[in-house]
Amino acid sequence: MNNTLTITDNRTEKEYVIPIENDTVRAVDLRRIKVNDDDFGLMSYDPAYDNTAACKSKITFVDGNKGILRHRGYPIEQLAEKSSFLEVAYLLIYGELPGKEEHDYWNTRVMRHTFVHQAFTRIIEAFHYDAHPMGILISCIAAMSTFHADAKSIDDPAEREKQIFRILGKLPTLAAFAYRHAIGRPYNYPDSSRGYTENFLYMLDDMNERGYTVHPVSARALDILFILMSDHEQNCSASTMRAVGSSRVDPYSALAAATCALYGPLHGGANEAVVRMLEKIGSVSNVPAYIEQVKQGKMRLMGFGHRIYRHYDPRATIIKKTAYEVFEALGTNSLLDIALELERIALQDDYFLERNLYPNVDFYSGIILQSLGFPTAMFPVLFAIPRAAGWLAQWLEHIEDKEQRIARPRQIYLGEGARDYVPVPERADYRKWLESYAPSAG
């Protein structure tokens, strides 16, 4: 096969042959296409990066049309059923599942780093009682860069690894402290003898009970959610991690930026938005009227639709199954019936079918988290903790990629041409304002 693309520029009638590699042309090859020598050359315009690959990656594979998600080649269904979050984090970061010794070493290192500097308790104390925990988490992650100055040595693999242990270990502790601050209870310090999600639930819940145990169904459900949320290739927050990391800043600063990106309601804030939407709908009988409003474009059906899945999000299928396991063990959730009815109606309505809008990972995750006892404001925080594993894997791959430089997109400038500066009193608008203002002022 001739792996090239022939382009004829009808402005000049010149022909260009451009190589195709991995079913992709290099945007920079288009720059050869010029009208004359002064011409900058052709660019491609791609708002929201709909059809632009910004990197080569070996971490996560998604086929949105077929509903496939694999990490390092392993199907998400197998990982969710058989693996643990910490093992998947290792897989994302190192590229292979750990052997027995590596597994134990990795778990021990991460759990040993669950303690945070005592100053973080004072930082968190400074926040108002109703501060959003995601705002607190973002601030604490950014602050972490000031506590670990060695993190600036991003070209040293040993230093990088140390920051990875710290980040994965400390995020649940900071998240738990943010939560305890909001409910006015003293902080629980980590118990590294427990599993990753078990320790997190313990820090959130324990009221100094003797022999406090975490319900195994809760710990496993949260672990599965963490596996499902751990990475999703070049989404808004992962791209942010790569873009900010490309400036060679320390990983804490890049991770704080990625966490900000995740905070938005169209991204990691969606599961919070789903629960708020279900609460607003209030009852199954109100569902048809709500769907009508969505179809009229008055609002979006939160938890539906995805930029790359044009079919059922495979994570949503696993989450729906996990939801039933949680409800069986801990009692059902009143919002479930509304969600099921929304899904039933939407999946047979032409509006949603024509636009390929199916439930995404967030449609059921919020209901599970609510059943586990998490307040709605904690939902994006619970997304950020596992996604940190994916961000770190994406960051490592990016900073080691010799083809990458500092991220710097181009623009199509459509503003004014060159013009001369006019002093303030001589500007037309200024005089108009002065005239209309003067009479009443007098």
Q: Which residues are catalytic?
A: 267, 306, 362
Enter the tokens of residue 88: 């998947």
Q: Is 137 in the site for ligand ACO (CB under 6 A)?
A: no
CB of 348 to ligand ACO, least distance (A): 15
Tallying the residues shown for the chain, one arrives at 442
In terms of CB distance, is 32 or 310 closer to ligand ACO? 310
CB of 265 to ligand ACO, least distance (A): 7
Residues with Cβ within 8 Å of residue 437, at least 6 apart in sequence? none
In terms of CB distance, is 258 or 361 closer to ligand ACO? 361
CB of 405 to ligand ACO, least distance (A): 28
The single residue among 11, 26, 58, 307 that binds ligand ACO, judged by CB under 6 A, is 307
Residues with Cβ within 8 Å of residue 251, at least 6 apart in sequence? 151, 154, 160, 163, 164, 167, 245, 392, 395
Q: Is 314 in the site for ligand ACO (CB under 6 A)?
A: no
Q: Is 151 in the site for ligand ACO (CB under 6 A)?
A: no
Beta-strand relationship, 74-75 and 14-19: unpaired
Only one of the segments 129-137, 141-149, 177-185, 262-270 lies at the binding site for ligand ACO (rule: CB under 6 A); that segment is 262-270
Terminal CA-CA length for the chain: 82
In terms of CB distance, is 198 or 272 closer to ligand ACO? 272
> From residue 64 to residue 103, what is the string marking binding to ligand ACO with x (rule CB under 6 A)?
----------------------------------------
In terms of CB distance, is 89 or 203 closer to ligand ACO? 89
CA dist 94 and 83 (Å) reads 16
Number of residues that bind ligand ACO (CB under 6 A): 17
CB of 114 to ligand ACO, least distance (A): 26
Sheet holding 60-63, edge to edge: 60-63, 68-71, 74-75
In terms of CB distance, is 190 or 390 closer to ligand ACO? 390
Cα angle: 362, vertex 367, 370; to 5 degrees: 120
Are 14 and 6 a contacting pair, CB within 8 Å? no
Q: Is 386 in the site for ligand ACO (CB under 6 A)?
A: no
Give 18's strand partners. Answer: 5
Enter the tokens of residue 396: 């490592």
**Residue 313: C-alpha distances to residues 69, 309, 317, 318, 325 (Å):** 9, 6, 7, 9, 19
How many other CB atoms are found less than 10 A from the CB of residue 28?
A: 10
Residues with Cβ within 8 Å of residue 385, at least 6 apart in sequence? 171, 172, 175, 200, 226
Are 19 and 4 a contacting pair, CB within 8 Å? yes
Q: Is 266 in the site for ligand ACO (CB under 6 A)?
A: yes
Q: Is 56 in the site for ligand ACO (CB under 6 A)?
A: no
Q: Is 111 in the site for ligand ACO (CB under 6 A)?
A: no
In terms of CB distance, is 270 or 388 closer to ligand ACO? 270
Are 5 and 17 a contacting pair, CB within 8 Å? yes
Beta-strand relationship, 68-71 and 14-19: unpaired
Closest alpha carbon to 129 in 412, 384, 375, 442:
375
CB of 333 to ligand ACO, least distance (A): 19
Only one of the segments 170-178, 192-200, 265-273, 276-284 lies at the binding site for ligand ACO (rule: CB under 6 A); that segment is 265-273
> From residue 341 to residue 360, what is the string marking binding to ligand ACO with x (rule CB under 6 A)?
--------------x-x--x
In terms of CB distance, is 215 or 267 closer to ligand ACO? 267
The single residue among 32, 103, 117, 267 that binds ligand ACO, judged by CB under 6 A, is 267
Instruction: For 57, list phi and psi in degrees, rounded to 5.
Output: -140, 150
- Where helices occur in 1-132 by DSSP H, the ranges are 76-82, 85-94, 100-112, 119-125
CA dist 61 and 267 (Å) reads 19
In terms of CB distance, is 297 or 423 closer to ligand ACO? 297
The single residue among 270, 275, 378, 392 that binds ligand ACO, judged by CB under 6 A, is 270
Quote the DSSP letter at residue 283: S
Ranges within 275-304 binding ligand ACO (CB under 6 A): 294, 300-304
CB of 235 to ligand ACO, least distance (A): 6
CB of 297 to ligand ACO, least distance (A): 7
CB of 381 to ligand ACO, least distance (A): 14
- Applying CB under 6 A, the residues found at the interface with ligand ACO are 266-267, 270, 294, 300-307, 355, 357, 360-362
